[in-house]
């Protein structure tokens, strides 16, 4: 592996990780004589972050440059656009997954259960008014009728228990208003 | 033994009813109410049973395996539960003793003991890291979604407005916010950015996005984790005082609260993120406690971690670690020993550091509203500051009354049956009224930043629309900032701010308490900041036009920069927040950590104290205590006092009309009788007395332990049947030849229950309950058992008594 290839690989990785546009120097210069207030931005490193390097084109001539630059304030700022991108994409994917799961739970799963097991086995449902899962005991019926591998049973059991917990919470928060005003 | 004892163990071992009151004393038993969601939040999928943690099978197997490995007999041997010391109460002490003893035997064991000592610190580190990371993510996502209502970034949709224009080259100040990469919705959809059509399109898109976010938030909360709504601080206060709410700190609540908090904040509703961030941090702490055996099993130690997590929550909300620790000490925690203080500080710092490295504010700032000015203030200005304090106190009292009334309406009438509709209507109302006014259109934090900051020379916002002085040519040396009369821009800004103040005051009342995550620090601070700024500008103009009057002559000469309206905004924000939450020290520390302005501690303190006194004159409770009382949580308020002095005999049970006390005798009852007694009542515990004739007290036994022991004895011990005698004494009499063997249950009796006499004043009894975290206490008379008094009886008594509660003089607090 030649050193040139190594160097290329390294610079590629560096570029991926740190966008060179993520640093900048921002100089705010107030009005001076008849020049208006201006803001100058350039992406230079910390050592070059001063008025002389950043303010281009310099609006005043030779002798006034120092006076002008004394009034300017220069700040070095950096950010990480990779972090922002990753965070937003993760957030949107989690939100999308939750929405899909919600749609699945409320719309698709009852349809699937109905199609698989027919209407008759699922008549005995809870009489609760706020019951969102009228087929809540579908899994009990399942476990009696089929023999399933243990892992799947466990997952379904856990999911059923979670659903019941959420139902309880929903009843106490939304319906009876005993918790959380 | 003394040499090897790690001091961390001693203070860490918690035994609820045995230690001195100065230690951490919180009961580690479960209430007869619901339990912390140990099952739902566990990360290992082995034990997901949500039965009581002392489920019959698992408990004994686990103790057995541990005992077995220690004595070298192998994991198969089960420890006889009847020879064990009290389950749950000395588990931690035993564990520590075993580890300390074993550590002398081998290096591995020594390392194990060291790691056990450091597990607390490791846990704090992890809590800080996780909370900081989550808070950074929430900040970034919230900024992005808020700007999404206004436009879109064309170079990368994940950038918000500020980041989109990061590298733009616009140089003039007026155009600093506009860059070609960022386009508002009107520009994208219609191609124009000025004019009535563009305004209308922007307005419409703003409303559409706001409604969409609010709808998503409330449906997610409703579908997955209904406990994720509201602020969270009242419930965490209750949890830290001993009441347990199952599922409140579980993993689904964490996920949903994080996601919907971003949505709720971005939808333009008048709410903040601070309360929900405290809840998020406590959820993280609860979930991470399952990685450590020491904390998973012991409720009391877990509550210490939750106290520290509350500090972490405020620390990441504001970037104020010290303020966070003081907030946890003052507002949230029930017991706060010194050890927790140091650990909370460590966790808060780790979280603040993590937040800073994620860098959500974009310029390596840690604090939320960094204030750049350091102008001095004069003693005369204390007058307006105290005025702001009075305003803050009045507003706090009014807000609490109005909000509680609205929440009560929501609980009892039909309004509460339509939570989704309510959220949508409030969002629509907020959006429609907020958009036309530029000060309500921007988010709460942005508004506060703008109000706090002083006008620099280059500031072109309306708030700095002063008439420029004409001396720009030669004498550029003069301080152009100071002492200018208000221009047209500033008058317009003042009108808009006044309208914004009225709007925000009214809309926050109906927003806090809705079924989305909502906090109330930022809206209260916004109200205060607007009021403060208005007063500050008023004072400034007063000083400009009245240089010669007696008040201003000495210190405010013409041309000098003597009054900073930004400072008034800061003081107003502190006053209003103090009036609502009744925070004192923590508020002052948070404010000066937020703004970096150490010079302003005295005005902040003056305003905070005034606002607290004024608000306390109208009602003793802060907003969180008021919500606790509204929901009826069993929380013993530390500051309550009784009007009528009464004796314990008046409050204890059984009363005259009640059936006599259900007791167990120390010998002479059979298993069947015991089971019948237990099943015929609902009590969670029974006193054990010497005999039915002399009710001299032996001890107290819990229902749960009784049932489990009898159950196990029936299964495992030989010969125990319904007719076996139940013996609570140490030495049982020899059984008759054909009688079945007795069941010895001395091991489960608590031989040192707390007792008070029937003539103990109620004040002292309530104090005992509070300080020791008791759930029940036995009442004796002349040494004989008379009755029992529980925490619920005390709460009922206090509720009855508070009908005519006297007003404590505010200065007594």
The pTM is what? 0.80
Among A81, A89, A102, the residue with its CB nearest the CB of B220 is A102
Instruction: Report the alpha-carbon distance of residue B666 to residue B436 in Å, rounded.
Output: 77
CB contact at 8 A, B754 and B767: no
Q: Which residue of A has its CA nearest to B133?
A: A87
Per the DSSP assignment, residues forming a β-bridge with B519 are: B272
Residues 160-179 of A with CB under 8 A from B: 161-162, 165-166, 169-170, 172-175, 177-179
Over residues B57-70, mean pLDDT: 30
Give the closest residue to B404 by CA, choosing from B729, B649, B627: B627
Task: Tell me the shortest Cα–Cα distance from A7 to chain B, in angstroms.
Answer: 28
Over residues B103-120, mean pLDDT: 84
pLDDT range class, residue B457, cuts 50, 70, 90: low
Instruction: Report the alpha-carbon distance of residue B280 to residue B230 in Å, rounded.
Output: 12
| Per-residue pLDDT tens digits for B293-334 | 888 877 778 888 999 999 999 999 888 899 999 999 988 887
Under an 8 A CB cutoff, do A166 and B252 touch? yes
Pairing of strands B743-744, B725-727: parallel
Q: Does A159 touch chain B (CB under 8 A)?
A: no
Q: Does A155 touch chain B (CB under 8 A)?
A: no
Over residues B553-578, mean pLDDT: 85
pLDDT recorded at residue B476? 36
Residue B172: list chain A partners with CB under 8 A.
36-39
Which of B173, B219, B265, B410 has the most A C-beta neighbours within 10 Å, making it the best mutation to test the interface with A? B173
| Residue carrying the six token digits 């040139």 | A4
Contacts for B608 with CB less than 8 Å, ≥ 6 apart: B389, B574, B575, B578, B583, B584, B587, B588
**If 0-12 CB within 10 Å is exposed, 13-18 middle and 19+ buried, where does residue B465 land?**
buried
Please give the span between the terminal C-alpha atoms of chain A, in angstroms, as a whole number: 68
Does B712 have pLDDT greater than 60?
yes
Does A112 have pLDDT greater than 50?
yes
| Residue carrying the six token digits 């050193």 | A3
Q: CA distances (Å), B183 to each of A35, B158, B186, in order?
A: 29, 14, 8
Pairing of strands B776-781, B725-727: unpaired
| Per-residue tokens: B638 | 């530390």
| Per-residue pLDDT tens digits for B499-510 | 999 999 999 999
pLDDT range class, residue B29, cuts 50, 70, 90: very low
| Per-residue pLDDT tens digits for B685-707 | 888 888 888 888 888 888 888 88
Does B751 have pLDDT greater than 90?
no
Instruction: Say how many residues make up chain B.
Output: 813
Does B11 have pLDDT greater than 80?
no
In sequence order, what DSSP letters do the residues of B425-467 get, joined into one string? HHHHHHHHHHSSSHHHHS-HHHHHHHHHSPP-TT--SGGG-BP
Which of B144, B458, B475, B509 has the most A C-beta neighbours within 10 Å, making it the best mutation to test the interface with A? B458
Which of B171, B172, B175, B249 has the most A C-beta neighbours within 10 Å, making it the best mutation to test the interface with A? B171
Does B667 have pLDDT greater than 50?
yes
| Long-range Cβ contacts of B250-253 (<8 Å, 24+ apart) | B250/B37, B250/B40, B250/B41, B250/B225, B250/B283, B250/B286, B250/B287, B251/B40, B251/B41, B251/B283, B251/B287, B252/A162, B252/A166, B252/B40, B252/B224, B252/B225, B253/B225, B253/B227, B253/B228, B253/B279, B253/B283
**If 0-12 CB within 10 Å is exposed, 13-18 middle and 19+ buried, where does residue B737 land?**
exposed
Does B353 have pLDDT greater than 70?
yes
| Residue carrying the six token digits 């994720």 | B228
pLDDT range class, residue B795, cuts 50, 70, 90: confident
pLDDT recorded at residue B249? 92
Q: Which residue of B has its CA nearest to A20?
A: B167
Q: Does B173 touch chain A (CB under 8 A)?
A: yes
pLDDT range class, residue A128, cuts 50, 70, 90: very low
Residue A60: list chain B partners with CB under 8 A.
none
pLDDT recorded at residue B43? 19
Among the ranges B13-17, B66-70, B590-594, B626-630, which has the highest mean pLDDT value? B626-630
Whether omega before B766 lies within 30 degrees of 0, making that bond cis, reads no
What is the phi/psi pair of residue B157, to 5°?
Answer: -65, -10
* pLDDT-above-90 percentage for chain B: 33
**If 0-12 CB within 10 Å is exposed, 13-18 middle and 19+ buried, where does residue A163 land?**
middle
Instruction: Report the alpha-carbon distance of residue A51 to residue B239 in Å, rounded.
Output: 56
What is the phi/psi pair of residue B456, to 5°?
Answer: -90, 175
Over residues A130-141, mean pLDDT: 44
pLDDT recorded at residue B63? 31
Judged by average pLDDT, the poorest of A142-156, B114-128, B601-615, B705-719 is A142-156
| Per-residue tokens: B655 | 């009363």
pLDDT recorded at residue B637? 76
| Per-residue tokens: B792 | 């619920």
Over residues B707-719, mean pLDDT: 82
Does B89 have pLDDT greater than 50?
no
Over residues B247-272, mean pLDDT: 93
CB contact at 8 A, B511 and B440: no
Judged by average pLDDT, the poorest of B204-213, B236-245, B728-737 is B728-737
Among the ranges A17-31, A75-89, B234-248, B500-514, which has the highest mean pLDDT value? B500-514
Between B634 and A137, residue with greater pLDDT: B634
Residue B632: Cβ within 10 Å count: 11
Instruction: Report the alpha-carbon distance of residue B18 to residue B231 in Å, rounded.
Output: 35
Give the closest residue to B140 by CA, choosing from B445, B362, B447, B369: B362
Instruction: Report the alpha-carbon distance of residue B27 to residue B243 in Å, rounded.
Output: 10
Among B37, B140, B364, the residue with its CB nearest the CB of A84 is B140
Q: Which residue of A has its CA nearest to B168?
A: A41
Q: Does A24 touch chain B (CB under 8 A)?
A: yes
Say which DSSP state B368 is in.
S
Q: Compute the mean pLDDT over every residue in chain B, rounded to the nearest whole number.
A: 78
Please give the span between the terminal C-alpha atoms of chain B, in angstroms, as a whole number: 46
**If 0-12 CB within 10 Å is exposed, 13-18 middle and 19+ buried, where does residue A6 land?**
exposed
Among A31, A38, A173, the residue with its CB nearest the CB of B229 is A173
Judged by average pLDDT, the poorest of B161-170, B528-537, B596-605 is B161-170
pLDDT recorded at residue B49? 26
Q: Does B176 touch chain A (CB under 8 A)?
A: yes
Instruction: Report the alpha-carbon distance of residue B345 to residue B337 in Å, rounded.
Output: 13
Among the ranges B112-116, B218-222, B552-556, B705-709, which has the highest mean pLDDT value? B218-222
Between B384 and A68, residue with greater pLDDT: B384
| Per-residue pLDDT tens digits for B388-443 | 999 999 999 999 999 999 999 988 888 888 889 999 999 999 999 999 998 898 88
Does B470 have pLDDT greater than 60?
no
Judged by average pLDDT, the poorest of A5-9, B105-109, B599-603 is A5-9
Per the DSSP assignment, residues forming a β-bridge with B520 are: none
**What is the CA angle B81-B83-B85, rounded to 5?**
90
pLDDT recorded at residue B182? 86
Under an 8 A CB cutoff, do B359 and A80 touch? yes
Judged by average pLDDT, the poorest of A155-164, B65-74, B530-539 is B65-74
Over residues B718-736, mean pLDDT: 76
Q: Determine the 3-state secondary structure of B547 from DSSP.
A: coil
pLDDT recorded at residue B280? 96
Between B467 and A31, residue with greater pLDDT: A31
To the nearest 10 degrees (0 to 180), the angle between helices B565-581 and B585-595 is 150
Does B643 have pLDDT greater than 90?
no
Give the closest residue to B14 by CA, choosing from B299, B212, B267, B238: B299
Between B298 and B50, residue with greater pLDDT: B298
Judged by average pLDDT, the poorest of B508-522, B589-603, B648-662, B792-806 is B792-806
pLDDT range class, residue B15, cuts 50, 70, 90: very low
| Per-residue pLDDT tens digits for A81-98 | 888 999 999 999 999 999
| Residue carrying the six token digits 């900081």 | B132
Over residues A20-40, mean pLDDT: 79
**What is the CA angle A32-A33-A35, rounded to 5?**
65
Does A142 have pLDDT greater than 70?
no
Does B31 have pLDDT greater than 80?
no
What is the phi/psi pair of residue B670, to 5°?
Answer: -95, 170
């Amino acid at each position: 592996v030649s050193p040139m290839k190594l160097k290329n690989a390294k610079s590629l990785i560096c570029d991926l990780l740190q966008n060179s546009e993520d640093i900048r120097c921002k100089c705010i210069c107030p009005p001076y004589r008849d020049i208006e207030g201006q803001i100058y931005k350039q992406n230079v490193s910390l050592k070059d972050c001063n008025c002389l390097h950043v303010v281009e084109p310099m609006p005043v001539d030779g002798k006034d440059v120092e006076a002008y630059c004394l009034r300017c304030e220069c700040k070095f700022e950096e950010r990480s656009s990779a972090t922002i991108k990753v965070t937003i994409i993760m957030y949107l994917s989690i939100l999308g997954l939750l929405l899909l799961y919600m749609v699945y739970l409320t719309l698709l799963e009852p349809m699937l259960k109905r199609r698989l097991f027919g209407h008759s086995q699922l008549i005995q449902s809870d009489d609760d008014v706020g019951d969102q899962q009228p087929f809540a005991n579908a899994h009990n019926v399942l476990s009696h009728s089929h023999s399933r591998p243990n892992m799947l049973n466990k997952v379904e059991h856990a999911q059923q228990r979670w659903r019941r917990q959420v139902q309880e919470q929903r009843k106490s928060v939304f319906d009876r208003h005993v918790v959380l005003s | 033994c003394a040499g090897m004892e790690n001091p961390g163990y001693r203070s860490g071992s918690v035994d609820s009813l045995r230690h001195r009151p100065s230690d951490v004393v919180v009961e580690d038993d479960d209430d007869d109410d619901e339990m912390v969601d140990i099952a739902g939040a566990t990360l290992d999928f082995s034990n997901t049973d949500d039965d009581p943690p002392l489920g019959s099978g698992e408990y004994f197997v686990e103790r057995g395996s541990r005992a077995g490995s220690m004595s070298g007999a192998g994991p198969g041997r089960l420890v006889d539960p009847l020879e064990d010391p009290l389950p749950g109460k000395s588990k931690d002490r035993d564990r520590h003793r075993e580890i300390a003893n074993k550590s002398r035997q081998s290096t591995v064991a020594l390392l194990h003991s060291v790691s056990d000592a450091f597990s607390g610190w490791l846990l704090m580190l992890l809590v800080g890291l996780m909370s900081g990371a989550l808070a950074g993510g929430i900040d970034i996502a919230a900024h992005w979604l808020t700007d999404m209502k206004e436009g879109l970034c064309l170079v990368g949709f994940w950038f918000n407005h500020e980041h989109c224009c990061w590298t733009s080259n616009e140089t003039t100040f007026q155009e600093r916010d506009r860059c070609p990469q960022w386009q508002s919705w009107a520009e994208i959809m219609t191609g124009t950015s000025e004019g009535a059509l563009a305004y209308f399109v922007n307005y419409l898109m703003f409303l559409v996005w706001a409604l969409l976010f609010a709808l998503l938030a409330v449906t997610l909360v409703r579908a997955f984790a209904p406990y994720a709504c509201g602020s969270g601080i009242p419930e965490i206060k209750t949890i830290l005082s001993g009441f347990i709410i199952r599922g409140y700190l579980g993993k689904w609540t964490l996920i949903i609260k994080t996601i919907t908090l971003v949505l709720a904040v971005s939808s333009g509703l008048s709410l903040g993120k601070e309360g929900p961030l405290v809840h998020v941090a406590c959820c993280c702490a609860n979930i991470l406690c399952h990685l450590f055996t020491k904390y998973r099993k012991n409720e009391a130690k877990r509550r210490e971690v939750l106290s520290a997590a509350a500090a972490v929550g405020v620390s990441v909300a504001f970037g104020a670690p010290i303020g966070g620790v003081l907030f946890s000490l003052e507002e949230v925690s029930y017991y706060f020993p010194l050890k927790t203080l140091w650990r909370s500080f460590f966790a808060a710092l780790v979280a603040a550091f993590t937040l800073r490295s994620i860098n959500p504010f974009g310029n390596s700032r840690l604090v939320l509203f960094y204030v750049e000015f350091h102008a001095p203030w004069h003693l005369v200005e204390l007058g307006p500051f105290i005025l702001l304090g009075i305003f803050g106190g009045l507003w706090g009292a009014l807000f609490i009354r109005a909000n509680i009334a609205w929440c009560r309406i929501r609980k009892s009438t039909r309004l509460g049956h339509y939570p989704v509709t309510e959220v949508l209507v409030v969002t629509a109302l907020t959006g429609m009224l907020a958009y036309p006014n530029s000060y309500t259109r921007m988010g709460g934090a942005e508004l506060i930043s703008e109000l706090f900051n002083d006008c620099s020379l280059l500031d072109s916002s309306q708030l700095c629309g002063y008439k420029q002085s004409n001396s720009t040519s030669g004498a550029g040396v003069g301080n152009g900032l100071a002492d200018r009369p208000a221009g047209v821009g500033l008058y317009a800004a003042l009108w808009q701010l006044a309208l914004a103040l009225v709007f925000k005051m009214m809309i926050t009342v109906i927003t806090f308490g809705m079924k989305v995550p909502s906090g109330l620090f930022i809206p209260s601070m916004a109200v205060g900041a607007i009021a403060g700024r208005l007063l500050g500008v008023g004072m400034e103009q007063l000083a400009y036009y009245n240089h010669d009057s007696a008040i201003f002559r000495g210190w405010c000469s013409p041309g000098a920069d003597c009054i900073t309206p930004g400072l008034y905004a800061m003081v107003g924000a502190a006053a209003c927040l103090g009036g609502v939450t009744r925070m004192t020290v923590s508020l002052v520390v948070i404010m000066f950590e937020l703004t970096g302005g150490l010079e302003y501690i005295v005005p902040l303190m003056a305003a905070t104290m005034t606002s607290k006194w004024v608000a306390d004159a109208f009602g003793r409770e802060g907003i969180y205590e008021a919500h606790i009382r509204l929901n009826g949580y069993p929380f013993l308020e530390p500051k309550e006092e009784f009007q009528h002095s009464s004796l314990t005999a008046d409050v204890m049970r059984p009363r005259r009309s009640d059936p006599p006390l259900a007791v167990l005798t120390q010998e002479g009852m059979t298993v069947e009788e015991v089971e019948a007694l237990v099943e015929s009542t609902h009590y969670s515990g029974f006193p054990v007395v010497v005999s039915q004739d002399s009710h001299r007290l032996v001890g107290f036994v819990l229902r749960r332990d009784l049932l489990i022991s009898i159950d196990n004895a029936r299964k495992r011990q030989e010969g125990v049947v319904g007719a076996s005698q139940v013996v609570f004494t140490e030495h049982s009499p020899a059984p008759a030849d054909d009688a079945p063997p007795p069941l010895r249950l001395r091991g489960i009796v608590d031989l040192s229950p707390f007792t008070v006499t029937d003539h103990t004043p109620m004040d002292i009894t309530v104090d005992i309950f509070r300080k020791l975290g008791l759930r029940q206490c036995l009442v004796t008379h002349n040494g004989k058992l008379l009755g029992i008094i529980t925490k619920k009886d005390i709460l009922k008594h206090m509720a009855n008594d508070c009908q005519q509660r006297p007003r404590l003089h505010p200065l007594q607090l």
